[in-house]
Structure 1
Amino acid sequence: MTNQLLYVSLFIIWLKLFYHMILIQGGYYFSLKYERIMKLWLEDSPDPPTVSILIPAHNEAVVIKETIESMIRLNYPEDKLEVIIINDNSSDATGEITDSYAKDHAFIKVIHNKPPLAGKGKSGALNVGLKQATGEIIVVYDADNTPEPDAVRNLVLTLQHDKKAGAAVGKFRVVNAKKNLLTRFINIETITFQWLAQAGRWFLFKMTTIPGTNFAIRRSILERLGGWDEKALSEDTELSIRVYNLGYYIRFNPAAITWEQEPETWNVWWNQRTRWARGNMYVIGKYLTRFHQLANKKVLIDLVYFLLTYFLFFTGVLISHSIFVINLFVDLDISIGHVSVVLLVVGFLLFVTEVWLALCIEKQLNVKNAVIVFLMYAMYSQLWLLLIVYSAMMEFKRVMLNQEVKWYKTARFKEGS
């Protein structure tokens, strides 16, 4: 029985590794061609459409100034642009700061969202902002984001030149990447995700996932969909599925760059990632049970990806880890011991190679980052295993007890603190 379990766990682990190996090749080939496409689009730039940027903000006084300043620097006609900040029942100086900017800049508007509409999380705040938005294109940024001047223009160009794209997503970089070991881990994770899961899936399957920030979506699509799902903790993933189900795809454009702040303490990281994991588990449960009702069966590619990531892969790792630990104390009579060790070692080397290639694409592969990747496997990846188990238990409890979804707002940090 032990041998069979070990076979199953190794098969699942290698299935994920093999899939990622294919994706990272797709991401690499995409990196070679997207700049040429952007050059052609810039040479043929149609008149810009009206754009509404939605920025949900709850107690964001620490970071909101830098975000608004970046909106002012955007390379986009002010008469075609409106920035809507949804001050979602903040108890700090967020309201005063945003109002001061709105007085000096006509294209900046502030919605002071109060109960009973407030306190429903990011999705609720975005739905409030959408009702007052007037733009043909809706762009979303988190309150800790500082997009580069051409970011919005490049997102919009994607939708103008590709009518089949219902949404366009950009690339994000970590502004506090060098703060400590945790932020260095997150920076590497972010880079790998974008060139593996985003660029790779786009190149091979014409599929990407809307992130929580730095994306543009056609207003007409949001209206057809009824806005954001306020029960979803990962509102971005959930929205992606519905966009695909309408027959559109979501296009990745790494020329649209934003800088964002990442958690600087393990406690904040744990709470944020738990919300992400539980949110994606919600999406899996919501749409796998309704798959027969979906018009676009291609959505199955994404559902299987999330199922593999959040359930099967970590189950396989958990089984293999458990067998290894138990075998230290009790002889389990494992007959494939040497084979399993070889497979795990090769799997580790494949993981390292994939991450190094992603860092190469971003020109961030140096000796320090190369060493950190090894630490990342030993520490960061193993902590993800515990987090997934914890998140699954919490989500199971919520479903069984019919508990209300509670939104965790990621804590911000002062720059240089």
Structure 2
Amino acid sequence: MSILDYFLFLAVLSIWGILVVNVVLTIAGYVNYLQKVRRPEPQLPVKVPFVSIMVPAHNEGIVIVKTLQSLLNFDYPKDRYEIIIINDNSAELLREVQSLYPHRNLKVINTDKTNGGKGKSNALNIGLKQARGSLISIYDADNTPQRTALRYLVAELMSDQRLAAVIGKFRTRNKNASILTRFINIETLSFQWMAQAGREKLFKLCTIPGTNYVIRRDILEKIGGWDVKALAEDTEISFRVYRMGYRIRFQPLAVTWEQEPQTLDVWFHQRTRWVKGNIYVILKNARLLFTKTGRPIRFDLLYFLSIYFLLMTSLILSDSMFVLSVAGIAHSDLVGFSNILWLMAIITFVISTFVTITTEKGEMTIANLMIR
């Protein structure tokens, strides 16, 4: 074997290794799904905790009204939650909503040049200072949560003192808008039941998704709030929660519908921000990988390292070898074997992803099968 063959073999081995991990997570996630659908609905305690719902909004005037109406329509006791909008340039529409619901606990914090324009983490820290609740819930400004979402989140959280946070499920509100949103719809379903639920089942690990979750205020204050340097503030704060010895649980009954990018340009900028944010979190915590302190997050660190570094490097190397071989510039005895493994990998990925969409009513369609 030539040195190129060795590199190609390592690349294919890495890709298959990560694929096998995802298949295992899919199976575990599906088992988790079967167990959760058989459990009784969580019930609120007799003494219902007060919740501060925080919504960071930056130029969200078009969608914020619909979001607020959904938040105001929760079936959670009306006198036991408040809504705090950390607002940047959406004031007129927000004032309109406040005039429609003057009797409700609706507060708008308008940022300025001094404290505004510094990202989501900064906005959440601003809101936390004025929040009154013992529990904090976060929703993005483009979300339409179901009426029961907050009640399920809080009930689940209050059922176990070891829980620092409970996360819900998010669905694609505009899934039929374009072929891109149809892909995103399947992707989000796969992520939640393949990655989130699988990791929860095997390793008691869940990552806060940035919206539709509730977290204990005292724990937030212990860890100093959100990291203002983190673009992926959800992943970053999840790691700190686990390092404190607490847990995060996935409650799929708590559902929110969110607006997803409908154009490739918006989608690309969103995913680029996510990648940058997660790489920051990886580098910030990499030193903990083989320490006792980092033991609770070790699997996630290895998983994210594999996805963002090993997988990307292997894909680039494998594809480059294929192109060079076709062009006659380089030759590898493993190219044919590699292509067969690639085909098997694609088939395995499609099957495992399709299995995950069986967890949602109405998603087992011919259209979704054709997309996969």
TM-score with structure 2 setting the length: 0.95
Cross-structure match for 2:144: 146
Q: 1-side partners of 2:14 and 2:358: how far apart? A: 28
Cross-structure match for 2:278: 280
Q: 1-side partners of 2:72 and 2:335: how far apart? A: 61
Indicate yes or no: 2:177 matched with 1:169.
Answer: no
1:69-122 CA deviation, whole Å, 9 max, x = no partner? 10111011111111111113x167344345435x52321111112121111111
- Tell me which of 313, 316, 328 is aligned to 1:315: 313
Distance 1:73 1:294, change over 3 A: farther
Q: Could you tell me which amino acid in structure 2 is paired with residue 366 of structure 1?
A: T
Cross-structure match for 1:25: 27
Local SS of the residue matching 1:167: strand
1:282-317 CA deviation, whole Å, 9 max, x = no partner? 001111035467724121111111111111111111
Q: 2-side partners of 1:205 and 1:258: how far apart? A: 25
Count of residue pairs the alignment pairs up: 369
Identity of aligned residues (%): 45
In the TM superposition, 1:5-404 aligns within 5 A as 5-39=7-41, 41-42=42-43, 45-88=45-88, 90=89, 93-101=92-100, 104-291=102-289, 295-330=293-328, 332-363=330-361, 364-373=363-372
Checking the alignment, whether the CA contact within 8 Å between 1:85 and 1:98 is kept in structure 2 is no
Q: 2-side partners of 1:67 and 1:337: how far apart? A: 52
Distance 1:339 1:46, change over 3 A: farther
Offset at residue 165 of structure 1 (A): 1.3
Q: 1-side partners of 2:177 and 2:166: how far apart? A: 30
Local SS of the residue matching 2:245: coil
Local SS of the residue matching 2:321: helix
Q: Could you tell me which amino acid in structure 1 is paired with residue 251 of structure 2?
A: N
Q: 2-side partners of 1:365 and 1:339: how far apart? A: 33
Q: 2-side partners of 1:316 and 1:296: how far apart? A: 26
Cross-structure match for 2:5: 3
Q: 2-side partners of 1:147 and 1:323: how far apart? A: 47
Please tell me the root mean square deviation across aligned C-alpha atoms, in Å. Answer: 1.6
Q: Could you tell me which amino acid in structure 2 is paired with residue 138 of structure 1?
A: I
Q: Could you tell me which amino acid in structure 1 is paired with residue 61 of structure 2?
A: A
Q: Give the unaligned 5+ runs of structure 1.
A: 374-417
Checking the alignment, whether the CA contact within 8 Å between 1:14 and 1:347 is kept in structure 2 is yes
Offset at residue 343 of structure 1 (A): 1.1
Q: Could you tell me which amino acid in structure 1 is paired with residue 104 of structure 2?
A: A
1:38-63 CA deviation, whole Å, 9 max, x = no partner? 43x33x74432111100001111110
Offset at residue 339 of structure 1 (A): 2.1
Q: Give the unaligned 5+ runs of structure 2.
A: none
Q: 2-side partners of 1:163 and 1:96: how far apart? A: 38
Q: 1-side partners of 2:196 and 2:103: how far apart? A: 35
Q: 2-side partners of 1:290 and 1:22: how far apart? A: 25
Q: 2-side partners of 1:293 and 1:113: how far apart? A: 40
1:227-278 CA deviation, whole Å, 9 max, x = no partner? 1000001110101100001001111110100000000111111111110010
1:135-170 CA deviation, whole Å, 9 max, x = no partner? 111000000111101101111111111221111100
Q: 2-side partners of 1:92 and 1:73: how far apart? A: 21
Q: 2-side partners of 1:235 and 1:204: how far apart? A: 24
| More deviation, 106-115/258-267 | 106-115
Q: Could you tell me which amino acid in structure 2 is paired with residue 365 of structure 1?
A: M
Checking the alignment, whether the CA contact within 8 Å between 1:87 and 1:94 is kept in structure 2 is no
Q: Could you tell me which amino acid in structure 2 is paired with residue 50 of structure 1?
A: F
Q: 2-side partners of 1:172 and 1:91: how far apart? A: 24
Distance 1:331 1:150, change over 3 A: same
Q: 2-side partners of 1:206 and 1:162: how far apart? A: 14
